[in-house]
Amino acid sequence: MIRNRPSLPALFVAGLMSVAGCASPTIDASAGPQATTARPVPVALDEEPEPFTVVVPGSNGASIEFLPLPPAKPGDATVWLARTELTWDCYGPWLFRFDVPEERRPQVDVASRPTKPYGAVDRGFGYEGHPVIGMTAPAATKYPVWLAEVAGGEYRLPTEAEWERACLAGGDPLAAGLQSVAWTFDDALDRTHPVASKAPNAWGFYDMLGNVGEWCTTAEGGFVLRGGSFNDFASEVAPGLRQFQTPAWNRTDPQQPKSTWWLSDGPFVGMRLVCVKPPPPAPADDTAPSPRTDEQTP
């Protein structure tokens, strides 16, 4: 259950009002994913898929670590799931256009990047290491498209089936106790916490339950929030919890129509990425000096 929350700080709402007159894409939140569905990459039978890390351009070194997700059945194509929920450190370059020279930022296409509200986008919860929050589901599909363009590879939101498989991790994710793996309303003090600050599950994934709910795509082509959040009571947070967007999630947004990028009353909404095609390996460093040989003159 999503608890009713008080109105957002005036600065955040004012920011939403400030972009009401800006040109922005019309995105139907009830429609299917906006990003092109990418096909998983087949892995040869004699190859063992490996974890890898993607450094986000414009982020001052922030990165996303991906772990191979064990397949549902032998022979299924490999996908990789982010070890943690997406953080502001990795989302900020897209939002604030840090990957673009400053003089060109005003010209960046508003159809492909969020309009940012005035005030703190993190709602005062914390930025570095904290999960990104408050994006609409269609907006969440835009980020992986950008990441593919600037970092290589192919990314998307997880399907419900992929998310459930990662959450269950081959067993009972609550065996060690919910409080050891999840931030819920019972102990989170009504705010997000840095990702990976509780124990991982058996497959190494953090915060599959609690902290923030995570957008997934449904079999019908829509969106659903999975995993529960700091806004849900511990008694409600479970692998089977499914939450669909309601008008209450952007109740205080004064725009008509409502913002296509932000949920004014959804600070419990977050995301995690799937990679279906890893980026190519970085080229070898040819600038390093070659080793000396006996034939070389001192």
pLDDT in tens, 137-154: 999 999 999 999 999 999
Q: Using CA atoms, how far apart are residues 177 and 5, in angstroms rounded to an integer?
A: 27
Q: What is the mean pLDDT of the chain?
A: 84
Q: Using CA atoms, how far apart are residues 235 and 247, in angstroms rounded to an integer?
A: 24
What pLDDT, in 10s, does the model give residues 209-265?
999 999 999 999 999 999 999 999 999 999 999 999 999 999 999 888 899 999 999
The answer on pLDDT for 33 being more than 70 is: no
Residues 158 and 194: beta-carbon distance below 8 Å? no
User: In this structure, what are the phi and psi dihedrals at residue 261, rounded to the nearest 5 degrees?
Assistant: -110, -35
- Find, among 217, 287, 270, 282, the residue nearest to 57 by Cα: 282
User: Is 288 domain-assigned?
Assistant: no
Instruction: Name residues whose C-beta falls within 8 Å of residue 136's C-beta, 6 or more positions apart in sequence.
Output: 27, 29, 245, 259, 260, 261, 262, 263
Using pLDDT thresholds of 50, 70 and 90, give the confidence band for residue 283: confident
User: Is 298 domain-assigned?
Assistant: no
User: Is 19 domain-assigned?
Assistant: no
User: Is 74 domain-assigned?
Assistant: yes
User: Is 140 domain-assigned?
Assistant: yes
- Here the tokens at position 146 are 């950008």
Residues 265 and 247: beta-carbon distance below 8 Å? no
User: Is 55 domain-assigned?
Assistant: yes
CATH number at residue 96: 3.90.1580.10
What pLDDT, in 10s, does the model give residues 120-141?
899 999 999 999 999 999 999 9
Q: What is the DSSP string of 6-44?
A: PPPPHHHHHHHHHTTTS------TTS--SSPPPPPBP--
How many structural domains is the chain composed of? 1
Q: Using CA atoms, how far apart are residues 64 and 46, in angstroms rounded to an integer?
A: 26
Using pLDDT thresholds of 50, 70 and 90, give the confidence band for residue 112: confident
Residue 162 domain boundaries: 32-280
User: In this structure, what are the phi and psi dihedrals at residue 156, rounded to the nearest 5 degrees?
Assistant: -165, 180
User: Is 27 domain-assigned?
Assistant: no
DSSP helix/strand/coil, 228: coil
Q: Which amino acid is at 257?
A: P
- Here the tokens at position 20 are 């009401």
**274-277 and 269-270 beta bridge pairing:** unpaired
